[in-house]
Structure 1
Amino acid sequence: MMPASPPEPVVDLTDPAVLADPLRGYDRILAETPVCRARLPGGGEAWLITGNADVRAVLAHPAIRNDPAGLPGHGARAQERTLLALGTPEEHLPYLRASLLSLDGAAHTRLRRSIAGAFGAAKVAEMRPRLRRIVHDLLDTLGGTVDLLDGFAYPVAMTVVCELVGVDEEDRDAWRRWGKVLVAADPAEVAVTMGEMFASCHALVDRRRADPKDDLISAVVAQDHLGDVEAVALVVFLVLAGHETAAHALSNAALALMRDRAQLDLLLADPELWPAAVRELVRTHGPVQLARLRYAAEDITVGGVLISAGDAVQVVLGAANRDPDQFTHPHEPDIRWQAGQGYAEGHVGFGWGPHFCLGAALARVEGEESLRALFERFPDVHPVGEPAWVPLPRGRHREALDVRLT
């Protein structure tokens, strides 16, 4: 007997109401239909998962894959045909296949382990003094009315990840431009941008192979089991994720604290609370709403709903982080409550399961040092006007964050 077709979508993630206010839109879906069919940005349909327990279960489930190749209803090159239709040159496909985000199982574990040491707690602790100096040197140049996103969050995030990976200073403006193009996802620009990125990374790999430095890319190219394509794919993944997401995490958190004086006063009076504050702000104001699309390799049941092998699954990290069944104060940061949880990650702002964010420890320290320095230097900093949101169903990004530093 043929399996029943999935029900028609009940929500549309490109709905203007969702785009205008993703937080409220996803929270409504969580309250009404926590496991449902949805129409996705860019076309296609998937099961939408919004509850915290269900999201964590899906992301940790061994039958959930990032790569749909070979699954029922998915030809070996189905995803690649979609990319080609959007203008992706065929020669770019090997880099996309080699990305950490595209791999599952042993291939993913092997590649992740090759760089995990650079993001471990010990290495991040070594980086903290340098990160603190980057932040303070940048704040020394700021005053008056500034765009905190372009003038502070982006430069901090870009400098930190590029120094770690080994991207030369003269190339960093190009990475900033490439990141903006890829977030906007205009097919007319994406293909050209990806070609420029891959060419730049190949040149970097060649330079580090000829003249190794004390950086991550030099360590990567020294590993004989990693080829140039994998090395280039790693650089692209790390630099894009390490500056684009981190910059908006800092911006979102800064504005949240400007608007919640009681929480900010707690931090100014007790700086030991900053680690808890960063964890809580990632939960309530994280920049990533939707995780990467995943696929069921076998029939599974989520929230009492059967998801068939081959079905696409879209988890909503933002809704899971505001689930009232999981959090006492779901919508607003509660720093003292978070401090009482120790270092347990009850939220999914950094993902969950085998694809948990590799740079989570670095992102936490970056947040602690950047936000603490900003507010200790300028305790009365306040926004100028109402920041505009970029209408993205997958992310919570502002176009700018103009503030007055006083």
Structure 2
Amino acid sequence: MSENAMSENATHLTPEQVEDPVRGYADLRTRDELPHAVLPGLTTPVRLVTRYADVKAALTEPRLIRDRTRIPGDADEAQASDAQDELLEAASAGLPAEYVKYFAGHLALFDGEEHAHRRAPLTRAFTARRIAALRTFVERTADALVAEAEANGGTDLLGAFAYPLATQVICELIGVEERDRDQVCSWMRDFAFGDGSRAGEALVALVEYAKELIARRRAEPTEDLISALLDGDQLTEDDLIGIVFLLINTGITPPALFLAHAALALLDHPEQAARLHAAPELLPRAVPELLRYVSIVRIGATLYATEDVDFAGTALRRGESVTVALLAADHDPEEFGDGAGQLDVGREFGRGDGHLAFGHGAHYCIGAALGRLVTSVVLDRLFVRHDGLRLAVPRAELEFGHWPGDGFHLLRLPVRL
């Protein structure tokens, strides 16, 4: 089938359709073959995997890879254009070309031994001990933000609470020194959040600061992540800067948006918020349930068939692209029953996470433990210790934005405490 024909016959997903992950994907889940779909804001169709079992299988299938250049033969004959290219082009638009390499070489885009080699130093540095040691800092930062919100009678739970919290945590983890933190946090915010008008300047400033910080830690190591990564001298300066931007890209905006959407989910389900407040022992269940329910990274990385292969009832051609719909999988009635679309803070999960919000397999999110820690602290402060959190505007007046490929997201979340 030609690309034009695929595009014409494809399902064009809308942000509104993505917003209803049970009914929005219901037809796609029942098809015998993986459907061709065009993600919101894009033009190139991909095979979309929506069933939980198929998504989990795709993320561990060795014949589905992320680095398109490793496909044997002339992959361009099999797939002339690519949705992943569209997303990378949108992400780097307007940024200084010589600096784009620092965040374009994302771990999510590598496979096999190369991915394992690049990930290993970060995995060794991202220890359970280091994450556990951050709890006191996370609690202190969250308490300060709650106190400020209480003094003001309310806050923007996204822009004035979740973003500052996520940014401060990343600064602490990386090892940004106290005297530099306000400025570096400002650059991070400009790069990761906002209208993009200052993203280029922020990128340059962050790269130059990262170079200075790396030089300082080479001379005088501390207990931070940069110092741990320097131990053994396995990484180049460019590698280290790339890791800094990996942490900025994945450790600020997605967690901040998740915290805001998780809070909104509880505000939309006041009976569940009241249940959590009355039974704090449910917190260890509420955290994975909200991760499942929100699944803020709704669409995973593009995968490519290394050969002609049958997968999920579909004959994939060599080079054909496949994308996993994580939000759809986490609301699959085949996996979660008739209550898949319902928020249940007491939901019991089996072994493992019980959801795919952090991915699965070799690319499982390095920051998952940190994400669970921060989520637990925030839910405790906002919904266990408080019972008066409420929207400061009518629900219908909340503003949402749309990003290419990933649907909808909150722009702000005004609340009163």
Q: TM-score range, shorter-chain basis?
A: 0.7 to 0.9
Counterpart for residue 179 of structure 1: 192
Mapped to 2, the partners of 1:153 and 1:173 lie a distance apart of: 14
Look up the equivalent residue of 1:312 and give its one-letter code.
S
Look up the equivalent residue of 1:172 and give its one-letter code.
C
Task: Give % identity.
Answer: 31
SS in 1 for 2:333: coil
| Aligned Cα root-mean-square deviation (Å) | 2.9
Mapped to 1, the partners of 2:371 and 2:155 lie a distance apart of: 23
Counterpart for residue 388 of structure 1: 399
TM value normalised by structure 2: 0.85
Distance 1:214 1:355, change over 3 A: same
Mapped to 2, the partners of 1:298 and 1:376 lie a distance apart of: 51
Distance 1:394 1:135, change over 3 A: same
Mapped to 2, the partners of 1:266 and 1:14 lie a distance apart of: 35
Mapped to 2, the partners of 1:178 and 1:241 lie a distance apart of: 12
Counterpart for residue 37 of structure 2: 38
Deviations, residues 271-312 of structure 1 (Å, cap 9, x unaligned): 221121010011111211111222122233222111122111
Distance 1:139 1:15, change over 3 A: closer
Distance 1:391 1:136, change over 3 A: same
Distance 1:136 1:284, change over 3 A: same
Mapped to 2, the partners of 1:138 and 1:17 lie a distance apart of: 32
CA drift of 1:134 comes to 1.8
Counterpart for residue 410 of structure 2: 398
List alignment gaps of at least 5 residues for structure 1. none
SS in 2 for 1:391: strand
List alignment gaps of at least 5 residues for structure 2. none
Mapped to 1, the partners of 2:24 and 2:206 lie a distance apart of: 34
Matched, 1:354 2:362: yes
**C-alpha contact 2:295 2:357 (8 A) present in aligned 1:** yes
Distance 1:13 1:391, change over 3 A: farther
Mapped to 1, the partners of 2:23 and 2:347 lie a distance apart of: 26
Matched, 1:69 2:69: yes
CA drift of 1:86 comes to 5.2
Distance 1:194 1:173, change over 3 A: closer
- 1:295-306 counterparts in 2 under 5 A? 295-306=304-315
Mapped to 2, the partners of 1:194 and 1:150 lie a distance apart of: 20
Counterpart for residue 218 of structure 1: 227
Distance 1:232 1:37, change over 3 A: same
**C-alpha contact 2:277 2:385 (8 A) present in aligned 1:** no
Matched, 1:164 2:160: no
Matched, 1:327 2:329: no
Look up the equivalent residue of 1:175 and give its one-letter code.
M
**C-alpha contact 1:147 1:400 (8 A) present in aligned 2:** yes
Distance 1:358 1:205, change over 3 A: same
Counterpart for residue 126 of structure 1: 133
Higher mean C-alpha deviation, range 254-263 or range 91-100: 91-100
**C-alpha contact 2:187 2:203 (8 A) present in aligned 1:** no
Higher mean C-alpha deviation, range 167-176 or range 246-255: 167-176
SS in 2 for 1:298: coil
Mapped to 2, the partners of 1:192 and 1:347 lie a distance apart of: 38
CA drift of 1:354 comes to 0.8
Counterpart for residue 321 of structure 2: 312
Mapped to 1, the partners of 2:99 and 2:20 lie a distance apart of: 32
Distance 1:172 1:189, change over 3 A: closer
Matched, 1:114 2:121: yes
Deviations, residues 211-240 of structure 1 (Å, cap 9, x unaligned): 322211122233322101111111100122
Look up the equivalent residue of 2:317 and give its one-letter code.
S
SS in 1 for 2:310: strand
Mapped to 2, the partners of 1:277 and 1:350 lie a distance apart of: 16
CA drift of 1:351 comes to 0.9
Distance 1:195 1:294, change over 3 A: farther
The correspondence for 1:240, drawn from 222, 241, 249, is 249
Counterpart for residue 155 of structure 2: 146
**C-alpha contact 1:288 1:396 (8 A) present in aligned 2:** no
TM value normalised by structure 1: 0.87
Mapped to 1, the partners of 2:85 and 2:316 lie a distance apart of: 24
Look up the equivalent residue of 1:138 and give its one-letter code.
L
Mapped to 2, the partners of 1:175 and 1:97 lie a distance apart of: 17
